[in-house]
Structure 1
């Protein structure tokens, strides 16, 4: 059957009745931001993927293409963000072909909130939706339960408090494209430096009116690994040997070594495997 399977709910109840603690959800971390400027909109994200206290990927991509002029930044469960945005991309394309009009950002927002609300937060996708359409630049955010916000600048994820501090203090009306890009990059770096779930590089996507979206992969790389100050390879004999004992191996069943050669004939070709 399509859809989600909740068989693990019965498993967790059985574990609880047997005296075992139920498995806990793995916490995730991300910093994503979006900012409108005069003539377009910018979204940005860090590139660290985590599973609890483990860094699973140092350079993952959290910006998802929906259409040539509409993109999403995703926080939460990586697989949920990936699959939901792919589903919305195909659905929005079919809608545009059916109506004969260019896709609009608010249409994507409606499709997303209806889909996420249906699953009551079990799809862990927290998205910043941005793009340009015939109505102009648009910027929205949507939570896993289906609630949405609209604004000139938005941020989500575990590093959103640090990012919002930068946005609140430095955002101003009628920003230029370059100013908006630098503001978003600085907000993401605030999340990278102040949130353990965020890290590595800064990805960015710029969408302008009457222009295709431009993805800037690794727009900033503040965590480039540098050479170590000294070598940690120690010469043989550095560690003292306090005692040495050699024990012979006895009662070992003897064995022989055989070499097998197979000749395969295929028309005029001959291969020999040894």
Structure 2
């Protein structure tokens, strides 16, 4: 009899369709407005494609085109996907643009906090890279990843540094880095150039980056021939934008069989 009464009391006026029953005595009961599916990025909406990074003699260059694709639509043609963090550090992103804006706001606030302390310390490329690996791996471990790949670069102790971090926390550093479609098409070109001339000048690095961006524009349906670069040297961090690659489609009529 006692069991029957408890059962009746427990399930009286049960939950509405799509909601949960609030068990008596629970301390973690949520208001009705918060009950339901978790609000998180399940799939990217507006996305950016490749980011390229290359070390040269005395600095680092990072490049990303300015297209924001809404699915397969070339919707936004003036999106910045590089970020100057300070005079020694910068980054570029591919993937979901909203998640990048979220991460960008956090980084910018942390930079302001560091400046307010005025203790002589600021983000270095290696420290930002290390912190971001922890953030992205933590989000992945909570099944709520940021749908981005980040390329972090800069100068530390006079030496160029380039690091790669993706949405599941995989991280490594290398003098030539590319993500997105560039990981397949641009990395071989960048590696060949760097191995042939590891002490290349800034002008040579810019020329190689432009060549790679042209190849990506020809081959990647989600890219644009307008891009921007961020250059980090001992003189500081400079963003050059926009740069428009000169393209040549004279041979397009000869390519057949892919219709």
TM-score (normalizing by structure 2): 0.71
Partner of 2:50: 31
Q: Aligned to 1:72, what secondary structure does the other structure show?
A: strand
| Structure ID, larger Rg | 1
The 3 A distance-change label for structure 1 pair 103 and 27 is closer
Partner of 2:106: 87
Question: Which range moves more in the overlay, 92-101 or 145-154?
Answer: 92-101
Q: Aligned to 1:64, what secondary structure does the other structure show?
A: strand
> Using the alignment, how far apart are the partners of 1:104 and 1:69 within structure 2?
6
The 3 A distance-change label for structure 1 pair 115 and 189 is same
1:213 aligns with 2:256: no
Counting only pairs closer than 5 Å after superposition, residues 191-206 of structure 1 correspond to structure 2 as: 191-206=216-231
Partner of 1:253: none
Partner of 1:101: 121
Question: Which range moves more in the overlay, 74-83 or 93-102?
Answer: 93-102
Question: Which range moves more in the overlay, 176-185 or 79-88?
Answer: 79-88
1:183 aligns with 2:202: no
The 3 A distance-change label for structure 1 pair 8 and 222 is farther
Distance apart, 1:8 and its partner CA: 4.0
In the alignment, is the contact (CA less than 8 A) between 2:225 and 2:244 conserved in 1?
A: no
Partner of 1:267: none
Q: Aligned to 1:179, what secondary structure does the other structure show?
A: helix
In the alignment, is the contact (CA less than 8 A) between 1:65 and 1:89 conserved in 2?
A: no
Partner of 1:151: 174
Counting only pairs closer than 5 Å after superposition, residues 247-262 of structure 1 correspond to structure 2 as: none
Q: Aligned to 1:213, what secondary structure does the other structure show?
A: strand
1:41 aligns with 2:60: yes
Distance apart, 1:59 and its partner CA: 2.4
> Using the alignment, how far apart are the partners of 1:116 and 1:105 within structure 2?
16
> Using the alignment, how far apart are the partners of 1:117 and 1:90 within structure 2?
21
Partner of 1:117: 137
The 3 A distance-change label for structure 1 pair 101 and 193 is same
> Aligned to 1:160, which of 183, 188, 192?
183
Distance apart, 1:215 and its partner CA: 1.0
Cα RMSD after superposing both structures: 2.7
TM-score (normalizing by structure 1): 0.68
1:69 aligns with 2:88: yes
Gaps of at least 5 residues in structure 2 are 1-29, 249-259
**Greater share of residues in helix:** 2
> Using the alignment, how far apart are the partners of 1:43 and 1:183 within structure 2?
12
Corresponding pairs, count? 208
Question: Which range moves more in the overlay, 47-56 or 157-166?
Answer: 157-166
> Using the alignment, how far apart are the partners of 1:205 and 1:25 within structure 2?
25
> Aligned to 2:246, which of 212, 222, 225?
222
Counting only pairs closer than 5 Å after superposition, residues 4-15 of structure 1 correspond to structure 2 as: 7-8=36-37
